[in-house]
Structure 1
Amino acid sequence: MVVREEQMLTHPFKFNQQQSNLDKQDTSQEYILTDNELQFLNGPYEATIPEMSAEGTSVIQVTASDHTGARLFYSILQGQPYFSVERTTGVIRSSSPLDRETIDQYFVVIQVQDMIGQMGGRLATTTVTINLSDVNDNPPRFPHRRYHMSISEAAPIGTTVGKIMAEDSDIGDNAAMKYEIEGHASHVFYIISNNKTQEGIVILKKRVDYENRSRYEVRVKGINRYIDERFQQDGPFEDTTNLKISVEDADEPPVFTSKEYVMEISEGAAVGSFVGAVSARDPDNANSPIRYSIVPDNYLKRWFSISEHNGTIIVTKPLDREAAPLHYLIIAATESMNPKQTSNVNVSIQVADVNEYAPELSKYYEIYVCENAIFGQLIQTISAVDKDSPMEHHQFSFSLAEDTSNRSSFAVKDNQNNTAGILTKRNGFYRQKESVFALPILIADNGIPPLASTSTLTVLVCDCDTEVNPKYCRYGALGISVEAFVAVVACTLIILVFVLAILAFRQQKKKSLFHEKGEEFRENIVKYDDEGGGEQDTEAFDIPTLRNHSVLREHKPRRNITTQIQSLYRQSLQVGPESAVFREFISQKLEEANSDPDVPPYDSLQTYAFEGTGSLAGSLSSLGSSSLDLFTNYDDFVQLGFKQEESIHGSVNTKWN
């Protein structure tokens, strides 16, 4: 293949494109280009113009060259009468509006010549492909003027009823559609657009009822989404059609006459009292009988029951508003011919209050009035409560009992807000004369029927300070001051502690009288009655020693004597010249025994025999022994005495009791 060098240097890209096209046409043919060859530089050509373009619209310009500078002339061989070409410029123009929906592509053949009509003139041809782009110049059109659809009355909301689609000759966005439902049917149905398929989908918006309405006439409009103002000066393109939607009958569950029921009954109603009634019907033409029941609830079934045939509700157990002011029932209605068809409804039963409780004071009040109180002084504010419900609707009134209102020293002022004030009706009170007042208060409510009760308040008179401050009233009402009351309490506590200490000490001393092992102690009385033996008998008892006041007493352990002894003090018979010495000796021993802190406080009984004047020794005779009954208390030993007896031998026996 021979290529002109100048052409390659000037238009390398165009040459390559042209060469590629030639290779596609015939790869086996060899092209030889010479320097003077006539050809189109960029052929074949392709162009696009919008459809319905105005006459004379420029489509594309074709250019040819032979590199000689010769004048070239262009002509159209194919494409008339839709297109034309300018003779000298090679500009192709439309000759009339073109409709893409009729022909969307045109093939035009253009020829170029030099030296027209002369010998040696050359020519060349090229093709131009002209495409028409779409514009929104066509309105949508429904293929049918009426569409038939159906829907079951049992269909739930959101069920698809059917689909429609308006046709549009345009393509792309120019064919995009939206749909609308006109008229009252828009409350029952609505339509949405599928942007991919451009379909309109009709959907159920509200439940339909065959018995109420079996057919719907629906008018639907299809509208182009996008507007081309060149063609849609009067608004968007649109079209309308009619839908005939039939409602199919279905076996439906019973329908209650109300969505819910609210009933009321007094809490004092007797068993079997009528509460209310529910009603349901079969919406189908079969009109099946309805049976009523309470949805199983073991608790509520104890209080209410319902008639199976007519739906009346009665009380089966006494009601108490204070325990349960509101009851909720679920009533079921079932078709007799088709038990599967069942509907439920809620029933609220309010228990109306019966005024069964009288009002009473809200708490116990401690009321005090000062002796120096003045007329009209507020001494206490009281309030009342009522067990009846509802609490916020109570209205109480307060007053003095009629029999005491005229002679009472106090008055009751009703504050009209369920409280009352206790006021004085005189100046001054005298506690010593009258310290306590009984004030009966009558409290009534606003129930039906109204109830009232009487509560008695106790008012104590007390001695207050100068500022009429009743903080001392609690003790002042007892007739003593606070300081005196505190002093009495303190003294009482001190005395109580002292008495308890004494009792504890004495109890400890009593316990120490006995051996730890509980050994029983007895007291022995030893008696000596022996004739003295002269000088030999002086060893038995030393009389001079008895006369000595400085005799030391040997401390020997004594045996406990537990026998109760009542002894009498007896004076000495004054027998013998030494009796005074003996009495002095015995008194000294008794004093030592009483003052000895190391010896327990028990007693011993001893008998001494005093020798008469016939013996120089003056000794005591031998002692015999005797036993006495046991005693336990030292305090019972209250008297001491001495007894002297003259023996048959001429001696004197002295006995210490």
Structure 2
Amino acid sequence: TFLYCVSVTGDLTLSYPLDYEDTTIPHSTVLQIRAYDNDRVHSTTAKITVDLTDSNDNPPQCNGYFYFTQLAETTPIGTLVKALNCWDNDLTGPNNAITYTMVADKFSANKFQLTKNQITVIKKIVLHNVVCVGPENLEYDDLAFAGTDFVHRLAVTVSDGGIPSLESVATIIIKVIPVNEWRPNSVANTFTVLENSVIGTLVGTVKFTDTDWPFNNVKYSITGGDIGIPPKFYIDPATGNIQVLHKLDFETETQYSMKVQAVDLNNDLQPDPKRQKTSVASVIVNILNVNDEPPVCNPEYYETLIYSTIKTPFLQLKCNDKDSLDREINYVIIAGNVNNRFELQRPNAEPPSVATTQSFQYHVFQGIQDPTDFELLIEVTDELDGNKALRQTSTATVIIHVVPWTTTQATTTLNTTTVQITTSVIVRASYFWTPTGWFVAALVITGVLLLLCLYGVAWCLFKDMHRICC
């Protein structure tokens, strides 16, 4: 028996602990107790029934209290994450009514749902105080979630219905595995760069966005388009910076177009080139004109013959500039215009013409005497878009040979009304010989040597005469 009676006091106590859930222990026991007097002569018998009642003395138990699992971020809605297997050794009555309660961290509250003992992937949405159930996949691509090392932590409390209620706690750790879901995305890019940019100049940066973690982790490359021969541009594979690779020339090409490809990297748990995603963006680079080309006259040297009586423009310059328009080119006579006999006439935007300003003066005793040969030096200056700081200048030379013409005045006869005008043409050829520098030097040296020789001969003669006389 599990009871015994103390003879002195009559107290009935347990001889060892009882367990209602132990099937070897009866739930009801009938005891007969005999009481004696001090001499043990007289006695009496009492019958006692002892009923063993159930009490909530066993907390719920589970197969395990710590679980770890891995789920891809694309795990479908409704996927079973974990089914807890728990029980309570208090077999009968309300003490065996086990309930489950889930406590999730802030990143897990809208990702998982507990139904009885099963945890599934789901999202709860509250609209107008009404709980609606809507799908939401696990999300790996979250900067804040990255701070938790991409781990969801769930705590499930398992309680019985006893008084007081006893409970146990099971912890579930869910590691989210990344999946490369999205392609890099970019809009069309347009950049501008000066044609005189040095090699290495930054043209612009192509931006691709990739919402897979790690964000925007892509590799760039130029895969097509027109980038010149040899290639004029280079793209940094890591940053997407486009840089000048070879000299640019606005006069040769004003625009380049290219295709830039972005390949995402490290968006899967195990890098797999076959799972990488690519996108292509169009990039246009406009070349900005810079005044780096001087004006060019073709030819640079002009030579012409005119008569001194000419009154109209007689020579038009042929100049152009690769950078500037015709109207942006200026012309000025800077040298050789003796007595200001010539000017540049420019009625429109075309290159000007050389013209005379007044009659030439020849064969006069007093006043201005004009030369017959002029060498005009004309300065040609461009001015791109009105920018005077970057002017480019060249020159053109015009040699003009003037043929003098003279005209006699009309003579009149008093006896008649007839006027006779006689015109004569006088052509004078002038020949001038101008020694060259080497000829003058040779002539001087020869003269000096001749003088030295004469001096030597005279000295010898004088010496011989002195001997004879002596």
TM-score by length of 2: 0.41
Larger RCO, structure (CA 8 Å, separation 6 or more): 2
TM-score by length of 1: 0.30
Richer in helix (by share): 1
Richer in strand (by share): 2
